[in-house]
Structure formats: C-alpha cells, structure tokens
Structure 1
C-alpha cells in the first residue's frame, strides 16, 4: 500500500497540515487547556484521518477481490479471516507510518523552538482511530461490489459519522426536552465511532468540563478505573465487530471471482 500514490499524497498532506498547525501553535501565547490549536489538531484527526482510512482501505480490499487477486489467494492454504486480517494489518501499519512521519515533523519543530506542544493523548487517539476505521474500511471493501462501490460506501459511513449524526442531534434538540437530548447524546456517543473517539480525547486529557455540568455523572463514571476499562473494551468491540461481519459476509457470499 505504501507504493500507492494516494498514500504518498496523504502522507505529504498530513505532514504539511500538521506542521502548519504546529507553527501557528508555537507563535500563539502559551495557554493551558482546550485551545484553538488543540481543537485544530483534533478536528484534523477526526475529519481527515477517517476519510482517508475508509476510502483508501476499502478500495484496497475491494480492488483485491475485483482484480482476481483474492481468487488466486484462495488456491493457497489461507483462510478467509487470514486474508482479511492481513489486509487489516497492512492498512493499519500504512497509516500509522504516515502518522509517525507527521508527528515526527511536529515534534522536531517543537524541539527546535524549545516547546513540546504535541499532547501524548493525540498519539493514542490517532492509534485508536486508525485501528477502528481500518476495521470499518475492511468491512466496506468486503461489502462492496467493486472499487467505486467501496468508495461510495466509505464516503457514506464517513458522512454519517462526522456530519449527519451531529445535524440530526441538533435538529432533535429543538423538539425534545433537555433530559431526553442528554440521553440521546450519550447514546450517539456510543453508536458513533467518531464521537466516541472525540469523547475519549476529552476523557483522557482531563477536559471533560467542556461537555458541561449536565454530563457530570456520565464523565465521572468514565474517568473511573472501570470507566477506562469499559472504554478500551468498547473500542476493541468497534474493531472486532466489523472484522467479524466482514469474515461472515465473505464466507457467505463465497466470492467466486
């Protein structure tokens, strides 16, 4: 996958954008807490990383099936899950290498200026994001009929996760009570991987106060030991479930290609 020009362009894009944000952050006044620069890093991760992971990853899986490469691999003693797992690992390692390059540039710039401005929580958030959306990319690739169909499915999942869920919630906020809106938000956080990871950033960075006093009990639960354990388990479920469904679909269809 690293030989793909798409991956190389994504790597250049992430390095340039991360470096630009880091440079702006270095010129800003030193502040603690959730700043505009921190929000820029977070939004960049939540919007661009899932987009490229879903599209490139799903098209890679669908391309192997469409081109007949998967049919050739079936002649070898390789299980369906072995094929899916190898594709998943390849997607994960490719995007982790891109992030490593981007973060390396940011840390180099920060070291030159004498300030370390890249929170460790961003690194762990990026790893979680790559793990989850790579699994969803494999699922989209298996579900699709061809590369173009895989691209369409991945864009739909990205739009629903990053855009439509929030707009639907805002629309419901105009017709339901505050208590009902609170519980709908909590449900959405658990059902939407993008919002789940956004909440994970606030939780691990100690910035849960930005959610407001209405979510005090909710954030207190997840900042406990059991809450951290549950967060990791649910994140693992977001990885296992798409891969399991992809294995089941590919086994059921047979994919005589």
Structure 2
C-alpha cells in the first residue's frame, strides 16, 4: 500500500528538485565554481536517496552549462550500493571524484581524489603550473597496503555478488519497521537502510528536535547488541559486507525492538 514502502516507489516525482537545481545554476552561473553531491544517497543529510535518473540529469545540466561537478563517494563508493561507484550505476562520471573509507575497508585511513584528464592537464608543463599541495601522510605505505589487500578481496571472494544477495535480504527483513506507527519512511539502496521517524505518519510531521528520538532509540539498541547511530531522527543500518543473512535479521530485530521500547 502507498505509504508503506520506499517513498521513491509511491510518491510521484515530477523532478521538482531538478528544476530547482536548474534555476539555481542559471541564476548563479557566473559564481558557481562546481556542484558537489553525494551520488544516489545523500548520507549526511539523513540518507536521502535519489530517484533513478537524477544523477544522469544533473550531469546533463552541468555539462550544458560547462559547470564542473564533484562526486563525494566517500560513503557510497567501493560496493556500498552494490557497484564500484554509485556514479557508474547511472552511466556518468564526475569531473572530480572523492574516495576514502571503503578504499581500505575501513581498516586504516586513506583517501584519493580523481580528476578528469583535462583538469589534470591544467597543472602540467612549467614548474609554475605545479599543483603545490601535499600533506604529511600522503601515500602512507600501511594505508596503501591495506587498500590493495581490500581491493583484491572484491575479485577473490565475489563481494559484489554477496552484496546483491544481502541487499535483497535487508530489503525484505527491513519491511518490519513499517509496523510501527511512528515510521514515516523506510528507504534502501544497496546495503544502506534508513528508517525515518516521524511524530505523525499521516503528514510526516517530525518530532521536536529536543526530544532526540533517533539518538534515544540507538542508545537502547546497545542493550540488544547493536551499535549504530542516527542522522537526526533517521535510524541507519550500514552493515559490513561480510554480514550473513542471519546477521542482517539480527540487526534489524535489535533496532526494531529498541524502537518499540522507546516509542511503545
């Protein structure tokens, strides 16, 4: 029934968000240095997930106006959404690409910034064109070794096949959250599950910020063996790629129990 599954499947999208972006790009074209986006899943804002085709249209709008766009794939890259990069799922590639976290499987800090060849070429030639930037831990050998080991596992252990299977399990077991009247949305992309809590489902009115409902639910989940944190009042599950189907069911069960205990 409408209102009881991922909102992207039920609510009619007329690309209002793209029209706002297009208007902003036209209005501030001479001032825009670049557009920065977390592709497919805007994690920092509350695990907002883009409708299919949004990223492709964003790429088109930027290309038409010769505006650079930067993809922050620190969270979404290296399998989290079921592919190497979230951008590739819509057949686009940004002008600059930010990578980290999954590069080493989260074991050691390491990050990388990739750029299109034409941008890189702007710093070649004479010494006065050199991009003079660096920091103390550039190319840290332990970080690089961890990254090589982590990347090799994707091929050796069929990680993408496992992620696809586990994502289907997570989608299935995650439906139990809809039974709670304070759940306004359950949305998923790959191995990312977000449960948005609202005071009233009918109009999706949020809880007052001072109640810290999401935080309190996650604190209760600790007593059931689950460590997670919310983004505001959005409960989040981002399980390890090594999780079994039983692990995923246990994570969802622990968070669901904590939700009913905090909001009976």
Please give the TM-score of this superposition, normalised by the length of structure 2: 0.31
Q: Which protein is richer in helix relative to its size?
A: 1
Higher relative contact order (CA 8 A, sep 6+): 1
More strand by share: 2
TM-score in terms of structure 1 length? 0.31
